Amino acid sequence: MQSLTFLGIESSCDDTAAAVVRHVPGAAAQILASVVDGQVALHAPFGGVVPELAARAHAERLDFCVERALAEAGVSLSDLDGIAVTAGPGLIGGVLSGVMCAKGIAAGTGLPLVGVNHLAGHALTPRLTDGLAFPYLMLLVSGGHCQFLRVAGVEDYTRLGGSIDDAPGEAFDKVAKLLGLPQPGGPAVEAAAKTGDARRFALPRPLLDRPGCDMSFSGLKTAVLRTRDRLAADQGGLHLQDRADICAGFQAAVADVLGEKTRRALDLAPVTGFAVAGGVAANSAIRAVLETVCLAKGVPFLAPPLRLCTDNAAMIAWAGIERFRAGARDGMDLMARPRWPLDTTSPALLGFGKKGAKA
């Protein structure tokens, strides 16, 4: 195996990112630079991610991100062995900006180009940070994603289950919104929950009664809404303690569901370890439940540092190195793909029963 140094480019959602990762066989991978240029500040006055701005901002920032990453890594383009770029899934404008940038660099330097699935970037991160051996179990849990993946190889992903509706990160955001807490909802709900009593309100644990690893969080949001409205009707408003108790109850319900489904996923097949990635992994209550489950099962628990769990380009560079070693090469026909499931063989929804039409 040769030593490889890859540039990674990521622009599939809100952040523009570039990174340089080097892997010398037999040693731990080195992140020489990881630049993440968040668009949060840019979008702040608009109250959300504005796609038109996002695509344009990615295009405007990518060159500078790449320049910065190379400078911070202390390497030049000629020191690289390849370019890896997120080719999907994500907002098409952003992905396209990244792919065009990567193609430009590849064409100009003659370096090999490797397209990377954004989700594969997350899924391979435990190998970047801890050198975890295949096969392992991965829980991707963020604003837009929630799935259990059995990762058996660089191109070998089996989806064991996932949310059949909202992702937990989205549920946190919406619960925060329902309760008048600031966005992003994850940290706000967690902070409010600290002084709350999780047992005061009986919130549902959706799909816990059903076999398999599928999850549902949309109903939990509705339950929070009902609880809020009932309190408002009974007492004319919500006290701070009410809000704290609802947050604690909601968080406990999410943690219980993720914990129980993790237990089931671990029972399906032996793995070398369990890794959780995504912004929701930053929630300490959820993390504690997942760690407890792993401890009971005797499976090593891994949570890569948050900066490598949220969107970044180091994971893309790393996934590029892994794919390159497996023989992957892409040409100038590399396409940006807004939808790109990692596992195209497993049914998307295990146990989903189709209901007949009424008429």
Kindly list the residues in this chain that would bind other proteins in the complex (CB under 8 A): 13, 46-52, 55, 89-91, 93, 143-145, 162-167, 169-170, 173-174, 177-178, 218-219, 221-222, 224-226, 229, 338-339, 341, 347-349, 352, 354-359
Distance, CA of 42 to CA of 53 (rounded, Å): 9
The response to whether 283 counts as a known ligand-binding position is yes
The response to whether 186 counts as a known ligand-binding position is yes
The response to whether 20 counts as a known ligand-binding position is no
Q: Does residue 298 come out as left (phi exceeding 0), alpha (psi in the -120 to 50 range) or beta?
A: left
Q: Considering the complex, what minimum distance in angstroms separates the CB of residue 347 from other proteins?
A: 5
Q: Considering the complex, what minimum distance in angstroms separates the CB of residue 219 from other proteins?
A: 7
Looking at the DSSP bridge assignments, the partners of residue 150 are: 137, 158
Q: Considering the complex, what minimum distance in angstroms separates the CB of residue 329 from other proteins?
A: 28
Q: Considering the complex, what minimum distance in angstroms separates the CB of residue 223 from other proteins?
A: 9
Distance of alpha carbon 311 from its chain centroid, rounded? Answer: 7
Nearest to other proteins of 196, 279 (CB atom): 279
Picking from 122, 212, 227, 224, the residue whose alpha carbon sits closest to that of residue 164 is 212
The response to whether 237 counts as a known ligand-binding position is no
The response to whether 141 counts as a known ligand-binding position is yes
Q: Which amino acid is at 231?
A: L
Nearest to other proteins of 144, 259 (CB atom): 144
Q: Considering the complex, what minimum distance in angstroms separates the CB of residue 345 from other proteins?
A: 13
Q: Determine contact, residues 19/8, Cβ cutoff 8 Å.
A: yes
Helix axes 185-193, 284-297, angle to 10 degrees: 80
Q: Determine contact, residues 304/288, Cβ cutoff 8 Å.
A: no
The response to whether 143 counts as a known ligand-binding position is yes
Q: Calculate the alpha carbon distances from 72 to 69, 105, 261, 264, 304 in Å.
A: 5, 18, 41, 43, 22
Binding site residues for substrate, as ranges? 140-144, 173, 186, 190, 283
Binding site residues for Fe cation, as ranges? 118, 122, 311
Binding site residues, as ranges? 118, 122, 140-144, 173, 186, 190, 283, 311
